[in-house]
Amino acid sequence: MVDQSIVISPVYGSADMQRLNFIAGRSLSQQEFALMQRYVEERCEDLLVARQPGIVYGLDVQAPQTKAEFSNSSLRINPGVGVSWSGRVVSIRLPLHVKWEELRQEHLARQVAEGEEPPAKLPDGFYFLTLRRQVRILDEIKKTDPCTRTELDPLRDTRVATLAQLNLQPLPADSTWLDYSRQRVAMQVFKMLLGSHPLTQPAPWENNLPENNPPENNLADEESSGLLAENPHELKLALIKVVDNFPQWVDPQVGRLLARDNAVQMAMLDYWHSILSAPARFRLDGEPVELDKKKILQQLLDVDYLPAAGKFPEQLISNLAGKVGKNHLQWQRPELQFFAYGLQIELVPVPANSVMGVIRQELSRGLIDLSGVEMDRLRLMVAVNPDDYHPQLLNLPEIDKKLVTEDLVNTQYQAYLAYKAWAEAYWNLYHKIEVRAPKTAPQLTLKTRAVFSGLYLTHIPAGAFTDLKDQRSLRRELAIPDYSPAPKKAVQILGELQTRRSEELRAQGNPPASAADLPRPWSLLEPLLKSVEEPVYEDVEIPEGDGLIAERIDTREDIEDIEQFIVRTNQLIDEVRDYLSSQRQQLDSITVSFSTLAGGIPGDGTGLKLMRWSDNLSFATTVKSSGG
C-alpha cells in the first residue's frame, strides 16, 4: 500500500495587509502602530462581508419641511449602525447635525480639482444623502502664520480619528423628473436601484449569454449605470430634490435600505404602503385624487412602477366576488374603477394564513410596469378563510360537462343499484310484515309492541307500512323509522335545481320566462340535459310470499299454538285417567257388595279368589265384641 500525502500550498492575502511580528523589549514606532491598527481593522471587517449590506438600526434622517426652515435649522441623523456594500461598518454614536449650506459647499468643493474655485450653484436635480466612514488626521492648530509650510508637521499635536461624514451623491436622472411628484420619483429611483444593487443582479453563471442574444428585460439601463460607480463604502440615507440651491423636499424612505434580504424590494413595498396610508387618497403631497374610470392606473396612483407583490387599493375594485346582473339573468364581473390599459388582471384566491409567504416569495420578481409600454400582468390575490379555500373559488360559474354527463350519472346509478340491493334484501326479510301491524292505536297490544320492537328496523323503503304513513305516534310505538327514498336520477336532480332557482327568482319579483332565461350556470343546463344518456333503472323485485321475518313470526306463533294444544291434551288425558280410576273403584265397590251378598269371596273370573283392597274403602265389623 502506497502512502499518499497532501501538499497544501500557502495562500497569501492582500499585500497591503501585513501583520507585525512583535519582539519583547523593542519600541513601537508610529508607523508600526498604524500598521498594526490597519491590520486589525482589515481582519475585523472581513467578518462583516457575509452580512447583508444596509442599515442595521437607527440612522434616521430628520429634515426641515420648508425653505425657511432649511435656512435656520440643520439636518439631523440619529445614532445608528450600518454595513456598507464593501462590508465596512458605518456608525454614529451621537446625533449628527449639519447645515445644508455646509453640506452643499463641501460637495461643490469636491467636484473641482485642487486649487480651483468651486461653482457657486448646485445643479438642479436629485441627490442621495449618503454616510461614509473616513479616517482623518486632525491638526490642533487651526491657523498658521504666513510663509508657513502647509504639510503636516509630525512634531505638532495631531491625532488620527475615524469619523462619519455626510455626502451628496448626484442621481443620474432625466430633467423631466423635476416635474414629477415625490412618489413618482421615488418609484423611479427604486427601479434604478433594482438595476444597480449588487444583491439584485443575477449570479455570474447566469450572465453567460451569447453576445448576439442580450437579455430582453435588463433593469441596469443607462440611467442606473451611474449608481454602479458609486463609492461602495457609503450608505444611502435619504433622497433630496434640489431646486435653486435649496432642497425642495427630503424623503428619508427612498434609498434607505435595511440590512435584510430583498432590501430594495422590501423598501419599495414599505414606500408603497406609506402611499396607501397617506391622509390624502394616493397622494403623499397635494390634494387627494378623484376616482375616474377613464383614467389609467398610472394616472390615479401617480406612479410608474409598483412592487411585484403588496397590497392593492380597495377603492379601485368593487364587487370583488361579482354579483347578479340586471334582472338576475347574467353574472356581473368585478368592477374596476380605472381603465386597465396595458394590464392583464386576474383574481386569484389564496388562504389567509399564506398571504405573507406569497408576498415574500413574489417580491424577488422585480416590479410591475404601469406605464403601458409593455403588457404586464396584475394578479390580485384575495385572502379567504383557509377552510373555504379552493383554487377555482373566484372562477365564473361554469358547468363541468364530464361531471354531469358521466360522473353524476354514474354516481347516481351506482347509488340506485346499492339501494335496489338493499331494498330487495329488506323485502326478502320483512315482506308482508306490515299486515301484522295494528291499523289504529286501540289495536296495539303488548305482544305486538314487543314483536315490532324486537325487529330493530333502521330504514324502510318506499311502499312499506303505507297504512301507517300518517300515524306518527303509532309508528313511534312500533319503532318504525321514516322512509328511505330511492336515489334520484341525474336529470331529475338537475331539473329540481332549475326549478328551485326559478322559485327563488319568482319570490324576488323577477320570474324567468323559461329555463334559458335563468342566470348562469342554470341557463346552461337546458341543452346539456338533452344530451345526458342514463342507464335503465330496473324496479325493485318484491317477492310474492312472506318474508323470512314474517315466516319466522308465523312459525313462532304456530309453535306456540302447538305447545298450547299439547298442554291442553295432557290436561285432558289426566282428566280421563282420573275418570277411569274413579269408574274402576266404583266397579270394585259394587263387586264387593255382590260377593258379600252371595256369601263368598270375590274372584277375578279365573277361579282365583282375591281380596281387592282399595285405599278408598274402609271395612268395619257389625257385631260388637263383649268383654269377658
Contact residues for 194 (Cβ-Cβ < 8 A; gap 6+)? 200, 219, 264, 265, 268, 366, 367
Place of cell 438642479: 124
User: What percentage of the chain exceeds 90 in pLDDT?
Assistant: 3
pLDDT given at position 570: 92
Residue 397 amino acid letter? P
166 neighbors 130 (Cβ within 8 angstroms): yes
Cα–Cα–Cα angle for 191, 194, 197, rounded to 5 degrees = 140
DSSP conformation letters of 164-202:
EEEEEEE----GGGGGS-HHHHHHHHHHHHHHH-GGGSP
pLDDT given at position 454: 63
Q: Which parts of the chain have pLDDT scores under 50?
A: 1-2, 7-12, 201-226, 228-229, 607-608, 628
pLDDT given at position 565: 92
431 neighbors 543 (Cβ within 8 angstroms): yes
